[in-house]
Amino acid sequence: MSNINITRLDASSADFDRQLKNLLAFDETDDLEIHQRVLAIIADVRKNGDKAVVEYTNRFDQRTIAQVSELELPPEILKSAWNRLPAEQSQALQTAANRIRAYAEHQKMESWQYTEADGTVLGQKITPLDRVGLYVPGGKAAYPSSVLMNAIPAKVAGVGELIMVVPAPQGETNQLVLAAAYLAGVDRVFTMGGAQAVAALAYGTETIPAVAKIVGPGNIYVATAKKLVFGQVGIDMIAGPSEILIICDGETNPDWIAMDLFSQAEHDENAQSILISTDAAYLDAVEQSINRLLPTMERAEIIRTSLTTRGALIKVSDLNAAADVANIIAPEHLELSVEDPEALCKNIRHAGAIFMGRYTAEALGDYCAGPNHVLPTSSTARFSSPLGVYDFQKRSSLINCSQTGADTLGTTASILARGESLTAHARSAEFRIKPS
Amino acid sequence: MSNINITRLDASSADFDRQLKNLLAFDETDDLEIHQRVLAIIADVRKNGDKAVVEYTNRFDQRTIAQVSELELPPEILKSAWNRLPAEQSQALQTAANRIRAYAEHQKMESWQYTEADGTVLGQKITPLDRVGLYVPGGKAAYPSSVLMNAIPAKVAGVGELIMVVPAPQGETNQLVLAAAYLAGVDRVFTMGGAQAVAALAYGTETIPAVAKIVGPGNIYVATAKKLVFGQVGIDMIAGPSEILIICDGETNPDWIAMDLFSQAEHDENAQSILISTDAAYLDAVEQSINRLLPTMERAEIIRTSLTTRGALIKVSDLNAAADVANIIAPEHLELSVEDPEALCKNIRHAGAIFMGRYTAEALGDYCAGPNHVLPTSSTARFSSPLGVYDFQKRSSLINCSQTGADTLGTTASILARGESLTAHARSAEFRIKPS
């Protein structure tokens, strides 16, 4: 196997900003044809309900069902999938679930209120979503860890009913996924997928109840359908290719860092793995590790393509410069493999998850550290957050004016409303002013 | 003026669910032509930057500028708009700003972390957005209160730079809006609007810096542009027509309730005002108030159209039934004009803002009670929240494994990763397991 050709950049070069921009660029052109096909499926499911779901599921998943109720898995199926797991796997899933739940409990929002001097009460009331849909892909990206990461925060939030949909091509189901659904407390499971499943969850059919929000990863049809039903229901973010950025001071075993880069690259050819170091010789050492370890990897070809087309090794002058690059990239995963990760972390403004210290491999966070592995990709960490309990709760403002409070506020509101020529607003406020 | 013809429903009728659904239905068909025009404008601004912004602004706003820098208002202009306000208005704006800020401070998220027995640290780091764009409409919907409601939470969150855009047709600016921008601490103002302003903020041009998120209301071109740049930047919700739902036990002065219904209806013909009462005679009394007061209103025709096409008076058997209807509607604004609003509030699961008690007119909350008036419309309160400080902050997960922690977690991660056939993940975790 020939050595890998991985992009080298130097942050001190005059052209670095443009080079970095090119490295990060990823063309996600919206496919208008897919858009229109998905629109048609959604319209069909809205109009024809169960009948449309049956037709699309039989067609796309090579099923032969006569009615949607056949798609629902009875709870015993999930339980038996769980019971049949090897002890090692069920214990590992249980450990992961416990840790994900413990971390999620810290995210739970609570209602609050305060009373002003005149007796007026202001506050914020927190309520969970009534019902949530969890999309789980079939095929190669069917990950039990994803089921836990999406389902557990919803349950911690207090979501009333969690409905999972997962396509079962030719009736095939993934036993690990069903076991994870059992463990996470998923309430109902329908073996359906694609845009038709998203549409059914968004609008409801005779058999499938409408949900308030749809979360979970999926292919381009699923992602497009989620975008198109947004507004009717809430959705989580639309994930791009996964990325890791590692900042290393040159003192971590280069094999460890090479494997951390691989762990991202093995996801798919478009995944992006970038290493930044203050030490050029260390970048060489990691490249040697990459070349030595790559032939031993099960997914060597995916890793090779990912690293050669989207990977990079970047030399910086110091850790402050490394933080600057990280803040431009706003990576999904950021490893701070340095002596004093707390100090460096203070300079990080944008990242989905920050893995601190030489022992904190991203893979630990992917499975069982506790924080969610559903993270903002493609620089969206500039403005968005990991999936969390807060995504399954929402806030209502509370205002309870005392008579005195309404009197005072009424005067202010009246002046402002009249300034905006909204006189019904003004008069409504004025009714609450005490007659003088 | 003839009496108004307002829909009457009875929640105990067999057909109520369907009638309610029809009442709430609002056809928001996506206009494909608008979609394509906006796509073209965005592509042009991405490609040609300032030049495209100049062309569109001159064309759509009847301006005659030669370069984008002419669109920026110097800080003195904002300050002088503020200084020239009548004292009554500046005091009212100041009162509102103080109260909005005080409430917003309660929403501020703080970082947290905890240490496990083996020394592993887990946490969540909160950072503000670097730079935010605030869209403010020109024309009839230019409201200074909206500037305060959008800008103050961003500043409380600690956003580094807040850039306001507001179209100035033929160069005309709204002095109240500029005064509010000064008061709220907006950092820069460009007099531009439409899809071109949204595109410039999303992608940046030579003169206009790219932002991380765009908030604020706008017309269909602005709303479409926001949807299309989502992903490149964050956006707030896309607002539909405004709505109020009032639940009254029949003991509030019917004139007050009529005026509260008007205050929503005067926004525009598509606004929706609904009253629910346990007392049929009270619904008659409010209808009489409506008919008596309507001819005295400045915006009588807008109110009449809104109430006759989208308004309703609904009879329910008891307050529990009223709460059930409210939870189906998931209203933007909910007034609980009843004797014991706290008790009723316990049964409310979905609402943007809840106005409790007979003195709490929605108009007080619209201007100065403190909570935000940017609220989820069109039943989206089922899954979304008022605009708040949290919309201008984001979270990063923190994971710092001790050597012992990595040893334990590495074993679990390895088992799960191998279960998913992700062996680079497994080996990355295994490197952190202590050699036995």
| Confidence tier at A28 by pLDDT (50, 70, 90) | low
Sign of the C-alpha dihedral, residues A65, A66, A70, A71? Answer: positive
> Quick one: angle between helices B32-48 and B194-203, nearest 10?
50
Site of tokens 């699923």: A222
Residue burial A76-112, b: 16+ Cβ < 10 Å; e: rest = ebbeebbeebeeebeebbebbbebbbebbebbbbeee
Residue B309: partners with Cβ closer than 8 Å, 6 or more residues away: B269
C-alpha distances in Å from residue A154, one per residue of A104, A147, B105, B404: 9, 11, 27, 30
A94: nearest CA partner in chain B: B412
- How many Cβ atoms sit within 10 Å of the Cβ of residue B394? 29
| Set A333, A335, A362, A373: catalytic member | A333
Q: Give the pLDDT of residue B28.
A: 65
The region, left, alpha or beta by phi > 0 then psi within -120 to 50, assigned to residue B355 is beta
What mean pLDDT, rounded, does chain B reach? 95
* CB spacing of B398 vs A356 below 8 angstroms: yes
Question: Is B112 an 8 Å CB contact of chain A?
Answer: yes
Q: Give the pLDDT of residue B413.
A: 97
Q: State which of A183, A204, A235 marks the end of a domain.
A: A235
Residues B201 and B137 both lie in one domain = yes
pLDDT tens digits, one per residue of B61-96: 999 999 999 999 999 999 999 999 999 999 999 999
Does pLDDT of A44 surpass 80? Answer: yes
Residues A23 and A40 both lie in one domain = no
**Amino acid code (one letter) for A239:** A
* CB spacing of A260 vs B428 below 8 angstroms: yes
Whole-angstrom distance, CA of residue B28 vs CA of residue B238: 12
Residues B36 and B24 both lie in one domain = no
Does pLDDT of B237 surpass 80? Answer: yes
Does pLDDT of A387 surpass 70? Answer: yes
Residues A151 and A203 both lie in one domain = yes
Task: Tell me the nearest-neighbour CA distance from A322 into chain B, angstroms.
Answer: 18
3-state SS track over chain B = CCCCCCEEEECCCCCHHHHHHHHHCCCCCCCHHHHHHHHHHHHHHHHHCHHHHHHHHHHHCCCCCCCHHHHEECHHHHHHHHHCCCHHHHHHHHHHHHHHHHHHHCCCCCCEEEECCCCCEEEEEEEECCEEEEECCCHHHCCHHHHHHHHHHHHHHCCCEEEEECCCHHHCCCHHHHHHHHHHCCCEEECCCHHHHHHHHHHCCCCCCCCCEEECCCCHHHHHHHHHHECCEEECCCCCCCEEEEEECCCCCHHHHHHHHHHHHCCCCCCEEEEEECCHHHHHHHHHHHHHHHHHCCCHHHHHHHHHHHCEEEECCCHHHHHHHHHHHCCCEEEEECCCHHHHHCCCCCCCEEEECCCCCHHHHHHCCCCCCCCCCCCHHHCCCCCCHHHHEEEEEEEECCHHHHHHHHHHHHHHHHHCCCHHHHHHHHHCCCCC
What's A394's DSSP letter? E
Degrees to nearest 5, angle at CA B326 with B320 and B331: 160
* CB spacing of B420 vs A385 below 8 angstroms: no
- B409 CB-contact burial (10 Å; exposed 0-12 / middle 13-18 / buried 19+): buried
Whole-angstrom distance, CA of residue A329 vs CA of residue A21: 9
Q: Rg for chain B (alpha carbons), in Å?
A: 26
> For residues B265 and B311, is the Cβ–Cβ distance under 8 A?
yes
> For residues A159 and A131, is the Cβ–Cβ distance under 8 A?
yes
Q: State which of B235, B270, B298 marks the end of a domain.
A: B235
> Quick one: angle between helices B144-157 and B175-184, nearest 10?
20
Both tokens of A110, joined, read: 């609570």
Does pLDDT of A432 surpass 90? Answer: yes
Question: Is B412 an 8 Å CB contact of chain A?
Answer: yes
Domain of B248 in residue numbering reads as 7-28+241-369
Q: Give the pLDDT of residue B140.
A: 59
A268: nearest CA partner in chain B: B422
Domain count of chain A?
A: 3
| Confidence tier at B141 by pLDDT (50, 70, 90) | low
Q: State which of A215, A235, A255 marks the end of a domain.
A: A235
Does pLDDT of B341 surpass 80? Answer: yes
What's A25's DSSP letter? -
Give me the residues paired with residue A395 across strands: A126
- How many Cβ atoms sit within 10 Å of the Cβ of residue A39? 16
Does pLDDT of A27 surpass 90? Answer: no
In a domain? residue A169 = yes
Site of tokens 């836990």: A148
Q: Which of A396, A401, A403, A434 to mutate to test the interface with B (most CBs of B within 10 A)?
A: A396
> For residues B315 and B277, is the Cβ–Cβ distance under 8 A?
yes
Q: In what order do the strands lie in the sheet with B188-190?
A: B72-73, B188-190, B161-165, B131-135, B213-215, B234-235
What's A230's DSSP letter? B
Average pLDDT over residues A84-104: 97
> For residues B213 and A383, is the Cβ–Cβ distance under 8 A?
yes
User: Considering only residues 192 to 231 of chain A, which have any Cβ-Cβ distance to chain B shorter than 8 Å?
Assistant: 212-213, 231
Q: Give the pLDDT of residue A30.
A: 63
Average pLDDT over residues A77-101: 97
Q: Give the pLDDT of residue A142.
A: 72
Does pLDDT of A408 surpass 80? Answer: yes
Residue B148: partners with Cβ closer than 8 Å, 6 or more residues away: B93, B96, B97, B100, B180, B183, B184
Does pLDDT of A1 surpass 70? Answer: no
Degrees to nearest 5, angle at CA A434 with A432 and A436: 145
| Confidence tier at A33 by pLDDT (50, 70, 90) | confident
In a domain? residue A102 = yes
Residues A321 and A407 both lie in one domain = no
Residues B342 and B418 both lie in one domain = no
Does pLDDT of A164 surpass 70? Answer: yes
| Confidence tier at A140 by pLDDT (50, 70, 90) | low
Whole-angstrom distance, CA of residue B188 vs CA of residue B174: 16
The region, left, alpha or beta by phi > 0 then psi within -120 to 50, assigned to residue A210 is beta
Average pLDDT over residues B363-380: 96
Q: Give the pLDDT of residue B1.
A: 58
Does pLDDT of A141 surpass 80? Answer: no
* CB spacing of A416 vs B253 below 8 angstroms: no
- B291 CB-contact burial (10 Å; exposed 0-12 / middle 13-18 / buried 19+): middle
Question: Is B62 an 8 Å CB contact of chain A?
Answer: no
Q: Give the pLDDT of residue B29.
A: 64
In a domain? residue A412 = yes
Residue A264: partners with Cβ closer than 8 Å, 6 or more residues away: A242, A243, A244, A271, A272, A273, A306, A333, A362
* CB spacing of B369 vs A345 below 8 angstroms: no
Is B366 annotated to bind a ligand? Reply is yes
- B21 CB-contact burial (10 Å; exposed 0-12 / middle 13-18 / buried 19+): exposed
In a domain? residue A396 = no
Residues A210 and A252 both lie in one domain = no
Whole-angstrom distance, CA of residue A216 vs CA of residue B178: 43
Q: Give the pLDDT of residue A66.
A: 97
Residue burial A314-342, b: 16+ Cβ < 10 Å; e: rest = bbbeebebbbebbbebbbbbbbbbbeebe
- Give the strand pairing for A393-400 and A121-128: antiparallel
| Confidence tier at B48 by pLDDT (50, 70, 90) | very high
CA nearest neighbour of A195 among A330, A323, A345, A34? A34
In a domain? residue B227 = yes
SS3 A110: coil
Average pLDDT over residues B98-115: 98
Q: How many A-B residue pairs are in contact by the CB < 8 A criterion?
A: 356
> For residues B100 and B148, is the Cβ–Cβ distance under 8 A?
yes
Site of tokens 């060597």: A300
Q: Which of A348, A400, A411, A421 to mutate to test the interface with B (most CBs of B within 10 A)?
A: A400
- How many Cβ atoms sit within 10 Å of the Cβ of residue B43? 12
**Amino acid code (one letter) for A349:** R
ipTM of model: 0.96
What mean pLDDT, rounded, does chain A reach? 95
Residue A333 falls in the annotated catalytic set: yes
In a domain? residue B270 = yes
In a domain? residue A1 = no
Whole-angstrom distance, CA of residue B264 vs CA of residue B303: 8
Site of tokens 């191998």: B418
Residues A273 and A151 both lie in one domain = no
Residues B216 and B247 both lie in one domain = no
> For residues B241 and A388, is the Cβ–Cβ distance under 8 A?
no
| Confidence tier at B30 by pLDDT (50, 70, 90) | low
Residues B175 and B48 both lie in one domain = yes
Residue B57: partners with Cβ closer than 8 Å, 6 or more residues away: B63, B65, B71, B192, B196
CATH number of the domain that B178 lies in?
Answer: 3.40.50.1980
Residues A48 and A18 both lie in one domain = no
Average pLDDT over residues A82-92: 96
pLDDT tens digits, one per residue of A211-222: 999 999 999 999
Q: Give the pLDDT of residue B142.
A: 72
> For residues A369 and B408, is the Cβ–Cβ distance under 8 A?
no
Q: Give the pLDDT of residue A29.
A: 64
Give me the residues paired with residue A336 across strands: A247, A356
* CB spacing of B354 vs A398 below 8 angstroms: yes
A367, A388, A419: residue with CB nearest B416? A367
In a domain? residue A121 = no
**Amino acid code (one letter) for A167:** P
Residues A139 and A189 both lie in one domain = yes
Whole-angstrom distance, CA of residue A351 vs CA of residue A332: 6
Does pLDDT of A284 surpass 70? Answer: yes
Which secondary-structure segment (H or E) carries A249? Answer: none
